[in-house]
Structure 1
Amino acid sequence: MDANAADDDASWPDTDPAAGSALPDGPPWRAAGGIPGPARGKSLNPPNKRHFLAGVKRGRIREANSVVLRGYEEAVGDDVALIAAGHARFNAWTHRYEINGRSYGVEENGTVFPDAGVGIVNMNRNEYAALAALARAGGASDQVPEFTRDPRFRDNPQAIATAQAVYDGTYK
């Protein structure tokens, strides 16, 4: 199958819950057996807390990290329900589900993770570590001694600036 075939299919159902389609109960949301990709037949769970600002304080720092901006938390939860209901497009090329301007992957255990798109910020290891430190300090960068001592931050002020913008809600 052509990886872009789903994108060309005009018969996809409406993905806007406000348009009258009710979201299924959950979490977890049982994915329909007929949907393509790794979600098929699994119980889908929302993203791990490390992907939300409220869970960043203790989140595991990986090489690549994605964080949901404030104000998009509910939309991301709704997207997971819509993926389970079969309303998302599966991109076979990227192995991601695309819905409402965002893309998501699904782990083997059924946990959905945000990958990219509206309201999702991709952060490298240093940016995410800076965000975690800011979160533990309540957003006060002057209360994070590592920012002036640790070379990962001292030599990389852009990581701190990105983290501060995400924390403050001013990231563009």
Structure 2
Amino acid sequence: MKPPNSRHNLNNIRPKSPAKDRNTVVLPGTDVAADLEGISAGRGTWVDETSRYEINGRTYAVESTGTVFPVSGPGLVNLSRSEYKVLKQLIGADGDIGAARDALRRDPSIRDADWPTALEVFKYHKSYKGEA
């Protein structure tokens, strides 16, 4: 099994990271490596109905290439494409919400409803400086 792409790790997300339809972000402190080690050692549970592994309350899927990707559970946050775009813009703007809003103002895929979850996830990012 290959570890998840770095685009899933919050502190590795960059403005040019690809946004998929569904994006699972791994929050800092979530030990994905230990989960994968546990799965490899046979401590994970294979769920036939979903073709996914479960360990430590988290669920992982495996692509045909052998690359694992996080799906759900503690320390994992699911974002829509638009929410992920907002998060990337917040990261690129170094947390400047006004600058991020200005940059996304003309993107028709971004709605006001996409901001709260992205802002909540951004609070765990290494560049977060606290409430403005």
Corresponding position of 1:132: 88
Q: Percent identity?
A: 40
Corresponding position of 2:130: none
Task: Check conservation: 2:11, 2:28, Cα contact below 8 A.
Answer: no
Residues 10-159 of structure 1 mapped to structure 2, 5 A cutoff? 44-57=1-14, 58-72=16-30, 75-144=31-100, 145-153=102-110, 156-159=111-114
Counterparts of 1:79 and 1:120, CA distance in 2: 13
Counterparts of 2:57 and 2:75, CA distance in 1: 9
Q: Give the counterpart letter for 1:107 in structure 2.
A: E
> Which of these residues, 111, 115, 127, is aligned with residue 160 of structure 1?
115
Task: Check conservation: 1:56, 1:132, Cα contact below 8 A.
Answer: yes
User: Greater relative contact order: 1 or 2 (C-alpha under 8 angstroms, separation 6 or more)?
Assistant: 2
Counterparts of 1:45 and 1:126, CA distance in 2: 27
Which is greater in Rg? 1
Count of residue pairs the alignment pairs up: 123
Deviations 1:107-137 (A, max 9, x none): 1121110000111111111001111111111
Counterparts of 2:103 and 2:25, CA distance in 1: 22
Counterparts of 1:95 and 1:146, CA distance in 2: 39
| RMSD over aligned Cα atoms | 1.6
Residue 95 of structure 1 deviates from its aligned partner by: 0.7
Task: Check conservation: 2:87, 2:119, Cα contact below 8 A.
Answer: yes
Q: Which runs of 5+ in 1 are unaligned?
A: 1-43
